[in-house]
Amino acid sequence: MKTVLDIINLGKTYQSAGKTLTVLDDINFSIADGSTNAIVGPSGSGKTTLLGLCAGLDRSTTGSVVLNGVNLNQLNEDKRAQVRNQYVGFVFQSFQLLPTLTALENVMVPLELRGERNIKARALDLLDKVGLADRGHHFPAQLSGGEQQRVSIARAFSNRPKILFADEPTGNLDAETSEKIVRLLFELNQDAGTTLILVTHDLELAAKTQRILRIKGGKLVADEKTQA
């Protein structure tokens, strides 16, 4: 099976007050193209740091990250940004929408960065898919939390990402809204054939993926296939 992400002997340390703080230690795994995966673990276990390294938002101290055949550790920040823009989508707990842009404009941003054509039509289609066809002219502050997260999901899928990273995507939402967002995320993911990697505290959500990677104290302590 083709892999879309290979994590090899990955480590991340920080220098703090003259001491070396190890956040991630010798992590190894590969992610199959088109699969759904969850990274779980207690607070402070290194989950979000790992996600940032996998997505090329940060550089590891040791080891390597190979995303769609590209070794991110050999690239400078500009080149890593190009790879992210080409292959990666993001959904964050805090939505990360640009407050001065409408919902429609927020979805159009990644497409504009790629210099694509007919971007308004594609953005409108994505807003329609997330059930917000009539809210495109609203600004983030005029939308509920659940609506903002739906806009961010539409934006994440706008550049047809090879791999989608979702960091606690339901962390700021109530149970009912969370359920709708999760369903939407998995439906869009299946339609697009995208690889999904979720970081979550929610074990029920993790169980909806095909595979759960457990991180504890900066180490990968379990790698389990689920019934999903």
The domain that contains 152 carries what CATH number? 3.40.50.300
133 in any annotated domain: yes
**Mean pLDDT, residues 38-56:** 90
**Mean pLDDT, residues 15-28:** 90
Question: Mean pLDDT, the chain, as a whole number?
Answer: 89
Total domain count, the chain: 1
12 in any annotated domain: no
Rounded Cα gap, residues 61 and 155, in angstroms: 31
> For residue 228, what pLDDT is reported?
60
Q: What range defines the domain where residue 202 resides?
A: 32-61+75-225
52 in any annotated domain: yes
7 in any annotated domain: no
| pLDDT higher than threshold 80 for residue 115 | no
**Mean pLDDT, residues 57-76:** 92
Pairing outcome for strands 62-67 and 70-71? antiparallel
3 in any annotated domain: no
Closest Cα to residue 158, out of 178, 181, 129, 190? 129
> For residue 201, what pLDDT is reported?
85
- State what percent of residues in the chain have pLDDT above 70: 100
pTM, full prediction: 0.88
> For residue 28, what pLDDT is reported?
96
| pLDDT higher than threshold 80 for residue 45 | yes
> For residue 214, what pLDDT is reported?
94
At 32 the three-state DSSP class reads strand
